[in-house]
Amino acid sequence: MANLKEIRSRIASVSSTMQITSAMKMVSAAKLKKAQDAITAMRPYANKLTELLQSLSATLDADSGSKYSIQRDVKKVLIVPITSNRGLCGAFNSNIIKQTQSLVDYDYAGKKVSIFAIGKKGNDAFMKKSMVIANKSTLFDDLTFDNVAEVAETLMEKFVSGEFDKIDIVYNKFKNAATQEVMTEQFLPIVPIQNNAHVNLDYIFEPSKVEIVEQLIPKSLKTQLYKGIRDSFASEHGARMTAMHKATDNATELRDQLKLTYNKARQAAITNEILEIVGGANALNG
């Protein structure tokens, strides 16, 4: 059994850790509320814009299609994994890294795959494999639509120039504080809806349908990427809050066990001292 000094040291260490995890939990809870409100308010707009764009694209002739809808033989793929800059958030980052690696190993096996990392953790994971062509971890320092739009424009340019034939984004979709769903979405080329039965062709378009689509596509792509990053941002704080809550509970349980061990050791030491005193007294009396 460890001596009393070692146990006291461990109790102090665990108590200090518990204070840190508890503080991190409260900070993440505060940030989560704001991030959750932002993604909840944005989703209806982003989904409707994407639906509208896909419906319009589905009614265009092949010759009048957008440069962002060109289907090429997929040889060069760009994957955009969205992770966080910091850890201590459970399996949040590892799930994205595993999903990205799965795409590389199975879905795009035999193709040239590159990584456009958003988040330090994803960059660190794939930098070792010499796959990263860019890292935009600074986005989270000032997460605004304008800053994300610049990244989206870069991705669009890489597709239009033919540098890549397909671009996917991988991110955590926020459901609640304890649940995040790993999503893989095709960013480019744009995929029109498969079922055209519900597409209403009775609209009068002003300006032309082609011009509207050309104006909507860049806005829709920027919004899609911004929504993915916003989803990931909310998921990160939810995952960290949950992880720190579990860590605090575990630390509390460990501290209580150590205190019990300390009390038992202290009682054993006192008993031994009493026995030694009684033994010494008996020896003197004898």
Alpha-carbon dihedral 15, 17, 21, 27, rounded to 10 degrees: 90
Which of 14, 46, 79, 89 is an active site residue?
Answer: 89
Angle between helix 92-102 and 120-127 (nearest 10): 40
Structure tokens at 170: 């991988």
53 with 69: CB under 8 angstroms?
no
Angle at 189 between CA 188 and CA 192, to 5 degrees: 120
What is the per-residue DSSP string for 109-166? Answer: TTSEEEEEEBSHHHHHHHHTTT-EEEE-GGGGGS--HHHHHHHHHHHHHHHHTTS-SE
What is the per-residue DSSP string for 230-247? Answer: HHHHHHHHHHHHHHHHHH
Our answer to whether residue 138 is catalytic in this structure is: no
How many angstroms separate the most distant Cα atoms in the chain?
Answer: 116
| Measured distance CA(193)–CA(196) in Å, rounded | 7
82 with 119: CB under 8 angstroms?
yes
Residues tagged active-site: 89
